[in-house]
A = this chain, B = another copy of it.
Amino acid sequence: MKRWTTGEVAKQRDISIRTLRYYDQINLLTPSYRDDKGKRYYSEEDLFTLEKIIILKSLSLPLENIRIILDKLSYKQILISHYNYLQEQHSKLETSILNTASLINMIDLEDTLSWESVSKLAKRPKDESKKWLDYFQEEEKNILLSTIPNISNNDETTQQYISLLRKIEWCIKHKISPESEEGSQIGTSLIEITNSHFQGDSDLMEKFWEVRKLPAEETGLYPISEEVLEFAERCMAYVTTE
């Protein structure tokens, strides 16, 4: 079983040695082995924990909170929350870029620009440092509960469901068509899950997919893009016509 010293870990993960010692000090990440001379040695598991910590920190969680929830979350759960976070950042960035480009252009056009005209565009996406819970709420509380009533909470199927959506995004990025082996697998799983969720109530099911199209502000859910929805629908269609 390989072990790494502080220096090695620091270099590999691009953090300072001081940081590692600090995390040890506050009992956030205690290396699993200590020399008779006091040297710290980190195991593979320690590195995974560190990875978790770094990701959670990037969601701007205070270290205190990280310590509390660290062992309650799997690496996968954390990665998924990270993914959601990144997606949100991505869409925010795109509007920011557009706004900034507009502003630069405005300066080129009018030479005296009033604050009033600028202030509309200058709105930066506000920093939601306390909002981090949201990235988990979606996993913790049932995806649906808040928007559609009368559906029981089942954490396992929720997990499966999210996993499927990720897989679809993955397929899209790798240009795998919904009319493929993977597509039909996804389709079958989707139908299974949706059936067990809605117990054949196709009316509710329709409503559900509609809701998923709305932007996040209105539903409180992470929005699924049209592209993903279409892919999902084509997967399911492909399975039923096979």
**Which A residues lie at the B interface, using CB under 8 A?**
12, 14, 44, 47-48, 51, 54, 58, 75-76, 79-80, 82-83, 86-87, 89-90, 93-94, 96-98, 100-105, 107-108, 114-115, 118-119, 122, 124, 126-127, 163, 166-167, 169-170, 173
Interface of A is mostly: helix
Minimum distance in angstroms from A138 CB to a CB of chain B: 15
A105 near B166 with CB under 8 A, answer yes
Minimum distance in angstroms from A18 CB to a CB of chain B: 15
A114 near B44 with CB under 8 A, answer yes
Knowing A93-B90, A115-B47 touch, does A173 contact B101 (C-beta < 8 A)? yes
Cβ contacts under 8 Å, A89 to chain B: 93
Cβ contacts under 8 Å, A93 to chain B: 86, 89-90, 93
Identical copies of this chain, number: 2
A90 near B80 with CB under 8 A, answer no
Closest to A101 in B: B170
Can you spell out 5 A-B residue pairs with CB atoms less than 8 angstroms apart? A14-B126, A58-B124, A75-B107, A90-B90, A101-B170
Q: How far is the CA of A126 from the CA of B54 in the complex (A)?
A: 12
Q: How far is the CA of A76 from the CA of B103 in the complex (A)?
A: 8
B101 near A83 with CB under 8 A, answer yes
Cβ contacts under 8 Å, A127 to chain B: 14
Residue in contact with A100 in the complex, picked from B44, B48, B79, B122, CB distance below 8 Å: B79
A107 near B79 with CB under 8 A, answer yes
Cβ contacts under 8 Å, A96 to chain B: 86
Knowing A108-B163, A118-B51, A119-B12 touch, does A79 contact B97 (C-beta < 8 A)? no
Q: How far is the CA of A76 from the CA of B111 in the complex (A)?
A: 11
Q: How far is the CA of A7 from the CA of B167 in the complex (A)?
A: 47
Q: How far is the CA of A173 from the CA of B99 in the complex (A)?
A: 12
Closest to A113 in B: B75
Q: How far is the CA of A93 from the CA of B119 in the complex (A)?
A: 27
A122 near B170 with CB under 8 A, answer no
Cβ contacts under 8 Å, A107 to chain B: 75-76, 79
